[in-house]
């Protein structure tokens, strides 16, 4: 970050802010997507369809709570000025709830496990609202896209490191009891009891605790001196005026609606994609973990490239490119099954050549997964920089609260539809196909949205 133009915070403060993504990402990587989620779907539930439905409903419930409260909290943060105290509060909730996933043994109550996961998801998202709203005060607008994408890339790197650790030292094969590098799982973890997957909760909690500390120590925060009661009252009043104001800012309103639609698809694909693959091909934790590592490696390079392209092409162009890739990838993965891809237009030998991902269909699935890896980071990081370029530092909290609302207002809808269609049809493939519609609709609306969405002249 040596070439940042006139930074408003020290380099140490900027890096502390970016390390928040590094700290937060393992929860999404190893718990939500690649290790614990597939374990829940394939081993805790009675069958994969029931597991995908329960997981989807848990994500939907968390999304509903996030949608209701994010803009409220964002407005309150603007009134108090301070963000760190809120991040600390929700970090504590996340650390406790995600640690308790260790007790999610086979045969445990699905409701209680989903409740813990949903609470952790809510706390993680609220922390992100406050962290994101700090960004416009740290660097000039021309550098926002760069630090946003670099931070997201750091997040993927952190998630990948934890995922590699889990696969190499914790995830034992059901047949041999040893990990992919030929050692017994550390700490005597028993894969037969799901302890390798369950341990991802405490590990991601510890990682989060350690690596959010630089943000607390070095990243500058502000404070208005208002008491919390006064801040709540004024924050609620400000939220009402902001919701009225945003209707007069057509560019921001249209962008937020577009993001509300396509982010629903992103959230659902992120949360359910790993479990879908594990159920379809019967992948073990080792295989789904390696799939996750591959995607994270690609995602890191995607974010690093996007950190430059965001400045050169603009956030809007980058988001549109990412949505095209995600649409192609989602069509690819739902059209692939044992022995075929592209809905059977390309039939493949069903013989397993042995080793990891031994069938041609599995390799085709991974190829489509690479497109997801390339696009996942930029579609979210450049959306964040799009918003940051469109608002002033003084209004960042309330607008990032509404930004979170747009990312979650209907975020229960895509997982709910995936879960419901899966439950009614008994077909996880048909359920996942719903996600394509969210990408297409969001892409069309964003294409006709002005960029950036600045405040209109008065």
The string of pLDDT tens digits covering residues 131-154 is 877 777 777 766 776 787 788 788
* Mean pLDDT value across residues 107-116: 88
pLDDT band at 4 (very low <50, low <70, confident <90, very high): very low
Domain 11-219+228-447 has CATH 1.10.1060.10: no
Provide the percentage of residues in the chain whose pLDDT is more than 70.
Answer: 77
Residues 147, 260 contacting (CB under 8 angstroms):
no
Provide the percentage of residues in the chain whose pLDDT is more than 90.
Answer: 13
Q: Lowest-confidence range among 123-132, 219-228, 356-365?
A: 219-228
Q: What is the pLDDT of residues 301-340, one digit of tens each?
A: 877 787 777 777 778 888 899 999 999 988 888 877 666 6
pTM above 0.75, yes or no: no
pLDDT at 345 over 70: no
The pLDDT value recorded for residue 457 is: 36
Sketch the domain layout of the chain as residue ranges. 11-219+228-447
């Amino acid at each position: 970050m040596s070439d940042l133009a006139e930074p408003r915070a020290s380099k140490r403060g900027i890096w502390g802010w970016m390390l928040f993504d590094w700290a937060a990402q393992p929860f999404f990587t190893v718990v939500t997507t690649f290790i614990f989620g597939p374990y829940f779907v394939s081993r805790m539930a009675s069958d994969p369809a029931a597991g995908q439905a329960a997981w989807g409903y848990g994500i939907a419930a968390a999304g509903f709570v996030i949608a209701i409260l994010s803009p409220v909290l964002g407005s309150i943060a603007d009134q108090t000025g301070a963000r760190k105290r809120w991040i600390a509060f929700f970090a504590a909730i996340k650390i406790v709830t995600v640690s308790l996933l260790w007790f999610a043994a086979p045969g445990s109550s699905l409701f209680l496990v989903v409740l813990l996961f949903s609470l952790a998801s809510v706390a993680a998202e609220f922390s992100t609202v406050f962290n994101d709203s700090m960004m416009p005060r740290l660097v000039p607008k021309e550098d926002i896209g760069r630090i946003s994408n670099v931070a997201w890339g750091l997040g993927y790197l952190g998630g990948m490191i934890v995922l590699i650790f889990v696969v190499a030292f914790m995830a034992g094969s059901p047949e041999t009891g040893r990990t992919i590098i030929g050692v017994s799982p550390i700490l005597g973890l028993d894969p037969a009891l799901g302890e390798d997957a369950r341990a991802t909760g405490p590990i991601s909690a510890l990682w989060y605790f350690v690596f959010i500390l630089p943000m607390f120590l070095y990243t500058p925060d502000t404070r208005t001196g208002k008491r919390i009661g006064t801040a709540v009252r004024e924050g609620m009043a400000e939220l009402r005026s902001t919701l009225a104001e945003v209707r007069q800012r057509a560019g921001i309103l249209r962008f937020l609606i577009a993001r509300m639609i396509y982010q629903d698809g992103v959230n659902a694909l992120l949360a359910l994609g790993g479990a879908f693959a594990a159920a379809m091909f019967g992948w073990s934790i080792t295989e789904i973990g390696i799939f996750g590592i591959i995607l994270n490696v690609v995602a890191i390079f995607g974010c690093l490239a996007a950190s430059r392209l965001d400045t050169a092409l603009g956030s809007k162009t980058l988001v549109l490119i990412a949505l095209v890739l995600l649409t192609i990838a989602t069509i690819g993965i739902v059209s692939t099954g044992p022995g075929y891809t592209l809905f059977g237009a390309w039939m493949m030998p069903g013989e397993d050549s042995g080793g990891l991902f031994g069938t041609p269909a599995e390799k085709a699935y991974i190829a489509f997964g690479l497109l997801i890896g390339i696009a996942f980071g930029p579609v979210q990081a450049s959306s964040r920089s799009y918003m940051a370029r469109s608002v002033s530092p003084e209004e960042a909290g309330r607008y990032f609260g509404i930004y979170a609302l747009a990312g979650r207002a209907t975020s229960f809808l895509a997982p709910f539809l995936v879960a419901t269609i899966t439950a009614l049809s008994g077909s996880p493939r048909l359920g996942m196909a719903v996600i394509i519609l969210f990408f297409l609709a969001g892409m069309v609306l964003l294409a006709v949205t002005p960029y950036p969405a600045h405040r209109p002249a008065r």
